[in-house]
Structure 1
Amino acid sequence: MSSTEAPATNSTEWNEYLAENTGGTELIVIWTFTGTALVFASARWYVRAWMQRKLWSDDYLIAISVATGIIACALTNVSVSKGVGRHVEALSNEQLISATLWVYAAYCPSVLSFGMPKLAVIALLVRLLVPGRVHFWVLWLMGGLVQLALLGVVGSALGLLFSRCHPVDYALGRDNMAFCLDTIQCGLTFLDVAFSGFVDFYLAAYPSIVLYKLQMARRKKVIVSIALGLGAV
């Protein structure tokens, strides 16, 4: 739901402004990325299950990530049908409440789809690089903290919503949303994204450092390091 400045009322520009809708574009983007992830994950599962006859823990974690991503996309579809993508001024208060509730419904599975791949990468690195006992637990601790932080963002948003404003419909109404959902959630989100980015960078740099110490051709080191370090992107 857009919050850009509205043009003057009672004009052709105003009617065009109310008619604007970016919901379709949003759906194209999220379904394209989710569909691409499903294609690559399916190819991976085919190789592992059919050709190698063995699935590892990272395969199951990727499956959870893809499944939650699909659920999030489906819920986003519903939110768009309720008004997400249109300007707030084009929605009634009831439509605004319904659209926002569906956005929150999509929030939790989307967070899980964002965090689970980190656990899959950790599972893969632990299996391939066999870190020491301390480093093993450090890797899993970082992955677990990312998941808890992501879920904490969702929990804080819902906590603010239900504890600060009653009833919930009041909180999501046009005139009260800014009061009920303030900068606390935004601050937690930025902190979580920063920590998540650090973990991505660490997981990308770690295999490169290990491979640098191995006795193998430099070309192979570079190729494998890039393949294992794509998480930094």
Structure 2
Amino acid sequence: MILSLIYSCIASVYVHMGGGRHPYYIGLDQTAAAVRMISIGNIPGIISVAIPKLAVAVLLVRLLNPARYQKAILYTLTLSCVVMQTLCAVFLWVQCTPTAGLWNLVKYKPKCWDLNAVINYFIFAGSYSIFVDLYLAIYPMTVLWGLQINRPKKIGLSCVLGLGIL
């Protein structure tokens, strides 16, 4: 929550600085300052998406007491997702040399990685994050469906654990 709040504050400052507007209207210097601001803000924003998955995995392990292999799957999926998202934050900053070239192409004339490779990795990491979210949502439903309780309780518990509905 704290990382999301930090990202939201930085994104608000970015918009206030003119972020999202065409450089023609706010000038190249103001555009560079805004892009630098959102580049900084993306770090807590990206990581704030991954870390809660670990908390959900720990909660599911404690509540559902899964088999050893299922624990390994839960922890492997969530930890690999955190690593991939952290790499996204790192790649965001190291893709150009010097880093300042990310927000001021004219002044620094940076040497950057292939943009398609960076974008493809970000798409892959985001897709993997969605897969982990789906797994963490569906797993409790499969466990609960095997219990000997009436159907309305199974549906209710599945919604609470799998979909986060309270």
Q: Same fold (TM over 0.5)?
A: yes
Paired with 1:109 and 1:120, the residues of 2 have a C-alpha distance of 17
What residue is the counterpart of 1:205 in the other structure?
138
Contact 2:140 2:162 in 1 (8 A): yes
The yes-or-no answer on 1:225 pairing with 2:158 is yes
1:173 pairs with 66, 79, 104, which one?
104
Contact 2:140 2:161 in 1 (8 A): yes
1:75 pairs with 2, 6, 10, which one?
10
Contact 2:93 2:99 in 1 (8 A): no
Q: Report the residue type matching 1:136 in the other structure.
A: K
Q: How does 1:109-188 map to 2 (within 5 A)?
A: 109-161=44-96, 163=97, 166=98, 168=100, 170-173=101-104, 180=112, 182-188=115-121
Paired with 2:87 and 2:24, the residues of 1 have a C-alpha distance of 31
Compared CA separation, residues 80 and 178, structure 1 to 2 (3 A): farther
How many residues were matched structurally? 162
TM normalised by structure 2 equals 0.88
Compared CA separation, residues 88 and 180, structure 1 to 2 (3 A): farther
What residue is the counterpart of 1:45 in the other structure?
none
1:85 pairs with 16, 20, 24, which one?
20
What residue is the counterpart of 1:99 in the other structure?
34
Q: Report the residue type matching 2:32 in the other structure.
A: I
Instruction: Could you tell me which runs of 5 or more consecutive residues in structure 1 were left unpaired when the two chains were aligned.
Output: 1-65
Does 216-225 or 85-94 show the bigger shift?
85-94
Paired with 2:22 and 2:71, the residues of 1 have a C-alpha distance of 48
Q: Helix, strand or coil for the counterpart of 2:95?
A: helix
Q: Which runs of 4+ in 1 moved over 4 A?
A: 174-179
Larger Rg: 1
Contact 1:93 1:174 in 2 (8 A): no
Paired with 1:158 and 1:71, the residues of 2 have a C-alpha distance of 18
Paired with 1:100 and 1:159, the residues of 2 have a C-alpha distance of 15
Q: Share of identical aligned residues, percent?
A: 29
Instruction: Could you tell me which runs of 5 or more consecutive residues in structure 2 were left unpaired when the two chains were aligned.
Output: none
Contact 1:75 1:102 in 2 (8 A): yes
